[in-house]
Structure 1
Amino acid sequence: MKQTIGCYHAHYSNIDYIQQAMEPFDVELVHFVDPGLDRRKSDAAFPVETAQARIQDTLVWVESAHVDAILVTCTFFTAHMPDSDALPVSIPVVRIDDPLFEAICAEGRPPLLVFTNPATVDGTVRRLIQYAEGRGMELPVRTHLLEGTFDILMRGDKETYLSKVTEGLMNLAAEHPDHQLWAAQLSMAGAAGRAEEAAGVRIGDPLSELSRYMEKGLQLKPRPRTS
């Protein structure tokens, strides 16, 4: 039976990435986007508790739309969600950085996580360290913020954003050959692919690991062939 996955995004630009990643599987995707929360999260008068309450309320709303599982594609959202055993929903919830964390822990070289959104850095790193510790690992995590790039995406100029992020990733790959680079946000996946091809080095990203992780975790079936 076809499964229905509710996809909870901070920005509309993430929809295409998820559509592509889930194309091989017999699933229906229902998209829920909250750009207002993404814009307000850095406001001084917008407490983190309000953001957390909004995220939890939306998870409950998505579950009520008759979906079988939820995929949360924003790292800010995942960083401010409760632990899995405290989530306010009864269906499986996949966080976009779970496949990324699994791949980082399996990699031999020390990780360098690259971000464009400053509001996601601390929460993502905290979750990664907790994830690694749960597997008996201690990771020497380094981070780098490509400053000013996320504002470009928020203005809707996706192509300039991809160009700037691609350039930044290529420069970092050259400067840190002893580290494994990871584009830590879904919005960076396209740039990671471009930089990887141009620089000739692997640059990990959440999307490249997502399909395998979702197929295994949700036992997804292949999309039927059409004659």
Structure 2
Amino acid sequence: MKKIACLHAHHSNISYIEKALSFANCMHFVDPGLVYRVTTDPKFAAESAAAKIENQLKWMEECSADAILLTCTNYIALLPETFTSDVPVIKIDESYFRRICEIEKSQLIVFTNPETVEGTMKRLYEFAFYQNVKIKVRPVVIEGAFELVMNGNLKEYKQKVKHVLHELMNEHDAIVSVAQLSMVEAAEEVSNCIITPLQPLAEDVRKVIIRS
């Protein structure tokens, strides 16, 4: 069984990845401190964050991993384009972006962490540009939700996300998707029409590890 080293910003993401990638042996590395530092310490430069991520990925690579999976959009946005690895590095948002770029209708992309919006949307537009695709997307942030998940109030967080997703589905004629793994369970309970990052991930990971 292929071994995938997964880097998360929060431990709650582990169960989602284990379920989606049951065909692989997943090793999990969790570092919420980096996201906290990036979002709260203005003196912590992006270069320092990038160096921290590079060091973490090199450590993961040395743990006999066949591939590395990044599940945090903040980590993905901060990773330098010049980073190289001896094993494939899978960025969870690229599978998600590919799905979004297949849709011509107007879309709403829902976030709970406001600090991930700018980086994610920038990467999405760049991805669409290189795919030669025009997309109609608008980000929506669920205010006050991210603090709940970071404090471990997962039940309250889930209810808040479900409430907002219900409202968006009822009030807008648009395709709704969620940008973060922590929102997947709530999205699945609201509607199977809501796009999540997990839906296209398993197929992409299978392709990568078959080639590795």
Q: After TM superposition, is the score higher than 0.5?
A: yes
After the TM superposition, list the runs of 4 or more consecutive aligned residues in structure 1 that deviate by more than 4 angstroms: none
Q: Give the structure 1 partner of residue 183 of structure 2.
A: 188
Q: Give the structure 2 partner of residue 30 of structure 1.
A: 27
Q: Give the structure 1 partner of residue 151 of structure 2.
A: 155
Q: Give the structure 2 partner of residue 205 of structure 1.
A: 196
Unaligned runs of 5+ in 1: 221-227
SS at match of 1:144: strand
Deviations 1:40-59 (A, max 9, x none): 12122222222111111111
Q: Give the structure 1 partner of residue 121 of structure 2.
A: 125
SS at match of 2:19: helix
Deviation at 1:82, TM superposition (A): 2.4
Q: Give the structure 1 partner of residue 132 of structure 2.
A: 136
Q: Give the structure 2 partner of residue 17 of structure 1.
A: 16
Q: Give the structure 2 partner of residue 57 of structure 1.
A: 55
Q: Residue type of the partner of 1:42?
A: T
Cα pair 2:105 2:136 within 8 Å, conserved: no
Number of aligned residue pairs: give it. Answer: 210
Deviation at 1:157, TM superposition (A): 1.1
Tell me whether 34-43 or 144-153 shows the greater mean CA deviation.
34-43
Partner Cα separation in structure 2 for residue 45 and residue 82 of structure 1:
19
Q: Residue type of the partner of 2:34?
A: L
Deviation at 1:174, TM superposition (A): 1.4
Q: Residue type of the partner of 2:163?
A: E
SS at match of 1:70: strand
Deviations 1:118-162 (A, max 9, x none): 110000001010111111112232111001000000000111111
Q: Give the structure 1 partner of residue 64 of structure 2.
A: 66
Deviation at 1:111, TM superposition (A): 2.1
Partner Cα separation in structure 2 for residue 107 and residue 139 of structure 1:
7
Q: Give the structure 2 partner of residue 225 of structure 1.
A: none
RMSD: 1.3
SS at match of 2:191: helix
Q: Residue type of the partner of 2:113?
A: N
TM-score calculated relative to the size of structure 1: 0.88
Deviation at 1:18, TM superposition (A): 0.4
Deviation at 1:213, TM superposition (A): 1.8
Q: Give the structure 1 partner of residue 80 of structure 2.
A: 82
Q: Give the structure 2 partner of residue 223 of structure 1.
A: none
TM-score calculated relative to the size of structure 2: 0.94
* Equivalent position to 2:36, from 15, 28, 39: 39
Cα pair 1:60 1:88 within 8 Å, conserved: no
Q: Percent identity?
A: 40
Unaligned runs of 5+ in 2: none
SS at match of 1:147: coil
Q: Residue type of the partner of 1:115?
A: F
